[in-house]
A = this chain, B = another copy of it.
Amino acid sequence: MSKTKRTDVNALGEFGLIKHLTDNHPLRNKSSQYGIGDDAAVIDNGNMQTVVSTDMLVEGIHFDMSYTPLKHLGYKAVVVNLSDIYAMNARPQQITVSIALSNRYSVEALEQLYQGIYAACDFYKVDLVGGDTTSSPKGLVISVTAIGQAAKDKIVYRNGAKVGDLICITGNLGAAYLGLQLLEREKQVYLSDKNMKPDLTERKYLVERILKPEARFDVIQGFANAGVVPTSMIDISDGLASELFHICTQSKVGAFLEESGVSIHPEAQEQAIDFKMDPITCALSGGEDYELLFTINPKDVDKIKFLPDIYIAGEILEESEGIQLHTTGGNMHPIKAQGWNHFNA
């Protein structure tokens, strides 16, 4: 290893780092339809294409065992990967799960984790087909790979948004981020006074959003039933601003987002105010909601306007117009990509 230069991994950020490491390596196999850069890779098998996505969850970075039940963790580890497959407009069919864990974890702990993994498999109708279980010197690492299928003409990439397309968002945003802030606050309270017992019953929705998120297979099913294929799509794992940036950058377009089109749950509204935060900032920059951001051709608007839980929130503009937020107060603000940066965690 070169001793002369040392660049901190934080310097590039996660996306910059991946780009830096993987640029200039063209795909060589005919079956490698699409590589790095979308929610999932696409492998050609003839009529149907195979879609593959992988994610790693690390104790102390992505989850805190002091408030994360293992069953929920197993469930979530699967769901975040399935969300990537749905974001390609594909159906997940199989997963593999690799786990490294220290001897602090017992077989019973692993059983809880697998109960959650299988609960997600049951709910989303996927098969656990492989994996690796090994020890780690410290903590728990879970790596999940999800494999799905879709017809070639149904797969939706990030790079297909066109000027004039409508920007749509499923569900509500910011709740998972506020749930996490709440759990972190209650943890600190508990650490300073072990007799304090957190009461989160009034914030059940926020806590569930962070600990046991769901992926929007119902929306993908809705697209199929309505006979509509979005022009671009991404799942909202790093916050709306960051995901909209990915779509605009890869599609070479700008965008206009209407604050009033971004749905925020009443509990999230209240909690944001309690934390003296702006709710729209939580929606734009908070992560882990696992909703979908997609664009559709305006001619398809009648097909999706009666689908539940979909909000039209903006329009795709020329690239030169940048990415802007139109606030409820009537102001225009440029939106900056501000996703979660785990390297700064």
Residues on A facing B (Cβ under 8 Å): 1-2, 5-12, 14, 17-18, 20-22, 25, 27-29, 31-32, 34-36, 40-41, 43, 45-48, 50, 52-56, 58-62, 69-70, 93-94, 96, 98-101, 103, 105-112, 114, 118, 121, 125-139, 141, 143, 145, 147, 149, 342-343, 345
Chosen A-B contacts, 27 in total, with CB atoms closer than 8 Å, are A1-B69, A6-B106, A8-B103, A9-B106, A9-B110, A17-B133, A18-B131, A20-B107, A21-B111, A27-B129, A29-B127, A35-B127, A35-B128, A45-B45, A45-B48, A46-B46, A46-B47, A53-B130, A54-B130, A54-B131, A54-B145, A55-B132, A56-B100, A58-B134, A60-B136, A138-B139, A145-B145
Residues of B close to A108: CB separation below 8 A: 1-2, 5-7
Are A93 and B31 interface neighbours, CB within 8 A? yes
Are A43 and B107 interface neighbours, CB within 8 A? no
Chain B CB within 10 Å, residue with most, of A20, A93, A130, A141:
A130
The answer for the CA separation of A30 and B55 in the assembled complex, in Å, is 25
Are B107 and A7 interface neighbours, CB within 8 A? yes
The answer for the CA separation of A9 and B343 in the assembled complex, in Å, is 31
Are B36 and A128 interface neighbours, CB within 8 A? yes
User: What's the dominant secondary structure at chain A's contact region?
Assistant: mixed
Are B50 and A43 interface neighbours, CB within 8 A? yes
Residues of B close to A110: CB separation below 8 A: 9, 17, 21
- Residue on B with the closest CB to A105? B9
The answer for the CA separation of A36 and B111 in the assembled complex, in Å, is 17
The answer for the CA separation of A151 and B278 in the assembled complex, in Å, is 56
Say whether, besides A96-B145, A134-B61, A125 and B36 are in contact (CB < 8 Å): no
Copies in the complex: 2
Are B52 and A107 interface neighbours, CB within 8 A? no
Please pick, from B53, B55, B137, the residue contacting A59 in the complex, using a CB distance under 8 A: B137
Residues of B close to A17: CB separation below 8 A: 107, 110, 133
Are A55 and B98 interface neighbours, CB within 8 A? yes
- Residue on B with the closest CB to A24? B118
Q: In the complex, what's the smallest C-beta–C-beta distance from A46 to chain B, in angstroms?
A: 6
The answer for the CA separation of A145 and B81 in the assembled complex, in Å, is 14
Are A114 and B27 interface neighbours, CB within 8 A? no
The answer for the CA separation of A50 and B137 in the assembled complex, in Å, is 34
Are B8 and A129 interface neighbours, CB within 8 A? no
Chain B CB within 10 Å, residue with most, of A8, A40, A127:
A127
Are A96 and B137 interface neighbours, CB within 8 A? no
Residues of B close to A25: CB separation below 8 A: 118, 121, 128
